[in-house]
Amino acid sequence: MRQGIPLTEEDRIPWLKILQDALRESLVSGKTVVLGCSALQKRYREILRSADCNYVPGSYNSLVKFVLLDAKAEVLAERLNKRAAEGKHFMPAKLLQSQLELLQIDNSEAICKVDGTLKPQALVNAIKTLIVGSA
């Protein structure tokens, strides 16, 4: 990524399986955990949903829930450019386009969306309301 080359499927799948294991560990021990992950494609999200041992593939009914921090490409590009200019992150803003092209949001999955332009605390409150039912 540092060289401006997007990750491939082969790069992502083993990583998603590691994340699946981490989620399963939390679920089994009864802990609630929040994971930040691009999970751009439906098949990637299915790997994460399957952390729930009772998950039936394709049902989208898992203990693992997804929230999309929804923001326009221009907003994301501005943030990434700012971050890249600070020189502290491996991902150049030019990789954004390849990620947006892969991003697959299918209404059948009923993924919660929150306004990604909100301030962090407002985002947390919105997500709590959506997932847990109270802020």
Ligand X SMILES: O=C(O)[C@H](O)[C@@H](O)[C@H](O)[C@H](O)COP(=O)(O)O
Ligand Y SMILES: Nc1ncnc2c1ncn2[C@@H]1O[C@H](COP(=O)(O)OP(=O)(O)O)[C@@H](O)[C@H]1O
Binders in 7-36 for ligand Y, by CB under 6 A: 36
Binders in 90-129 for ligand Y, by CB under 6 A: 120, 123
Distances (CA, A) of 84 to 77, 100, 115: 10, 18, 23
Q: Answer with the entry of ligand Y, ligand X, none that 12 interacts with (C-beta below 5 to 8 A by kind).
A: ligand X
Q: Minimal CA–CA distance to 62: which of 74, 77, 51? A: 51
**Token duo for residue 75:** 């907003």
CB of 53 to ligand Y, least distance (A): 28
Packing angle between helix 42-49 and helix 9-28, nearest 10 degrees?
A: 30
From 25, 33, 35, 38, residue interacting with ligand X (rule: CB under 6 A): 38
Binding status of residue 97 toward ligand X by CB under 6 A:
no
Q: Answer with the entry of ligand Y, ligand X, none that 133 interacts with (C-beta below 5 to 8 A by kind).
A: none
What is the C-alpha to C-alpha distance for residues 89 and 19, in angstroms, rounded to an integer? 21
CB 98 within 8 A of CB 91: no
CB of 127 to ligand X, least distance (A): 17
CB of 76 to ligand Y, least distance (A): 7
DSSP structural state of residue 7:
P
Residues that bind ligand Y (CB under 6 A): 36, 79, 83, 120, 123
